[in-house]
């Protein structure tokens, strides 16, 4: 193990219950448990959750307990392994499933750890990866292909959300709509393209992200501020609607509209979190249409990760990652996120900052 001689590192923390974040120096967490590993973080990406925590919105106020090292999407090198760790070794390049589960409840014991009610999330409930070093349970670590750039490896966790959402239902040769083209929605467009979806329809209000959706494989891009989405989607699908919808926006109107243009017998995977109650004509838009609705929670442990690793070299991740900054530029990263004019924003925690 070759650590900084001072045994200190740079980290970004939520110091107090207020907007913002603070760059500090703190001790490297070398006190790992027998089942844990210590990881030197090579790259970490900014998630919408990190943005919520930074802005200290209502959700954050009810969930986060400062001080806390934030961040949960990363790639890094293992520099120390606990005494009970067998599968991993020093030098492995890893990312991690960010949901730490109990492994003892009915859900975990039946292969449904992604909905474990005792889940703790790194960077939310425990110290995260906006730091030069972090520790993780060994069982959560995914061994990466070391030939892939860490700035692409670090986005596998949100990519897993896109993959889980889009591939829960068969989309090969199916008309597919991606509702909301934030970073995960953009990845979903690219996943749909790579796995051979039929016509891919992207729905997004932000011009930057509409253009990026086109680059990543969308055949049709709709601005709901300028067009009637239901009419346009029906026009693009010969009047019968979309086979499969991936919902990433969480927008009340967008979700309600989606139920109007989903095809009879169609499928809906829903990842976006609404801020308002959704009003549905349950009889006509769900029951009589015979549609299937699937709620997406994180990634299936660990099936989704296997799918992600099979796709990572085929996707256009060089277009998905639009900004790379030093870790200490976290305020600038959050400003970029706030603008909406970005895909994934990656932070690099280097001593040369």
Range of the domain at 81: 8-154+316-348
In angstroms, the Cα distances linking 286 to 226, 246, 258, 264 are 27, 16, 11, 9
329 inside domain: yes
249 inside domain: yes
- The pLDDT of residue 3 is 64
Residue in 124, 123, 126, 132 with CA at minimum distance from that of residue 26: 132
Same domain, 141 and 15: yes
Q: Is 49 a catalytic residue?
A: yes
CATH number of the domain enclosing 100: 3.90.180.10
Same domain, 52 and 134: yes
Same domain, 139 and 26: yes
Same domain, 171 and 39: no
Average pLDDT of adjacent 10-residue blocks, the chain of 353 residues: 75 97 97 98 97 95 96 98 98 98 97 96 97 98 98 98 98 98 98 98 98 98 98 98 98 98 98 94 98 97 96 97 98 97 95 45
Write down the H helix ranges in the chain.
Answer: 48-55, 58-63, 106-109, 150-153, 156-167, 183-194, 207-215, 229-236, 252-261, 282, 303-311, 317-320, 330-339
Same domain, 234 and 344: no
The residues pairing with 45 across neighbouring beta strands, listed in sequence order, are 73, 346
306 inside domain: no
310 inside domain: no
Q: Is 322 a catalytic residue?
A: no
Structural domains of the chain, count: 2
- The pLDDT of residue 352 is 41
Same domain, 324 and 282: no
* Given the residues 35, 52, 126, 324, the one annotated as active site: 52
Same domain, 60 and 115: yes
44 inside domain: yes
Same domain, 256 and 340: no
Question: The dihedral of CA 170, 173, 175, 176: what is its sign?
Answer: positive
17 inside domain: yes
Residue in 13, 30, 31, 32 with CA at minimum distance from that of residue 22: 13
- Please state the pTM of the whole predicted model: 0.95
208 inside domain: yes
Question: The dihedral of CA 229, 230, 232, 236: what is its sign?
Answer: positive
- The pLDDT of residue 230 is 98
- The pLDDT of residue 353 is 37
* Given the residues 10, 44, 49, 322, the one annotated as active site: 49
Same domain, 185 and 134: no
End-to-end CA, the chain: 22
Q: 333, 12 in Cβ contact below 8 A?
A: no
Same domain, 173 and 236: yes
Same domain, 104 and 205: no
Same domain, 140 and 64: yes
142 inside domain: yes
């Amino acid at each position: 193990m070759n650590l900084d001689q001072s045994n200190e590192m740079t980290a970004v923390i939520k110091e107090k219950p207020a907007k913002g974040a603070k760059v500090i120096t703190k001790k490297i967490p070398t006190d790992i448990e027998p089942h844990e590993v210590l990881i030197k973080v090579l790259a970490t990406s900014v998630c919408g959750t990190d943005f919520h925590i930074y802005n200290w919105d209502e959700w954050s106020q009810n969930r986060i307990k400062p001080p806390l090292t934030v961040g949960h999407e990363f790639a890094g090198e293992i520099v120390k392994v606990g005494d009970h760790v067998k599968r991993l070794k020093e030098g492995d390049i890893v990312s991690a499933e960010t949901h730490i589960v109990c492994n003892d409840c009915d859900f975990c014991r039946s292969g449904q750890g992604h909905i474990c009610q005792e889940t703790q999330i790194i960077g939310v409930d425990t110290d995260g990866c906006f730091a030069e070093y972090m520790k993780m349970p060994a069982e959560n670590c995914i061994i990466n292909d070391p030939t892939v750039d860490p700035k692409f490896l670090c986005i596998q966790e949100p990519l897993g959300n896109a993959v889980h959402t889009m591939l829960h239902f068969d989309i090969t040769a199916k008309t597919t709509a991606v509702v909301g083209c934030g970073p995960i929605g953009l990845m979903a467009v690219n996943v749909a393209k790579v796995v051979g979806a039929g016509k891919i329809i992207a729905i997004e209000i932000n011009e930057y992200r509409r253009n990026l959706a086109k680059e990543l494989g969308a055949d049709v891009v709709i601005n709901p501020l300028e067009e009637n989405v239901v009419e346009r989607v029906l026009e693009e699908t010969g009047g019968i609607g979309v086979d499969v919808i991936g919902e990433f926006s969480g927008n009340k109107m967008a979700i309600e509209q989606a139920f109007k243009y989903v095809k009879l017998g169609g499928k809906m995977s829903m990842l976006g979190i609404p801020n308002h109650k959704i009003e549905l004509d349950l009889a006509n838009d769900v029951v009589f249409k015979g549609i299937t609705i699937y709620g997406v929670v994180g990634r299936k442990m660990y099936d989704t990760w296997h799918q992600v690793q099979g796709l990572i070299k085929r996707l256009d991740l060089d277009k998905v990652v639009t900004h790379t900054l030093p870790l200490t530029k976290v305020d600038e990263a959050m400003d970029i996120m706030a603008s909406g004019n970005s895909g994934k924003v990656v932070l690099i925690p280097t001593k040369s900052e």
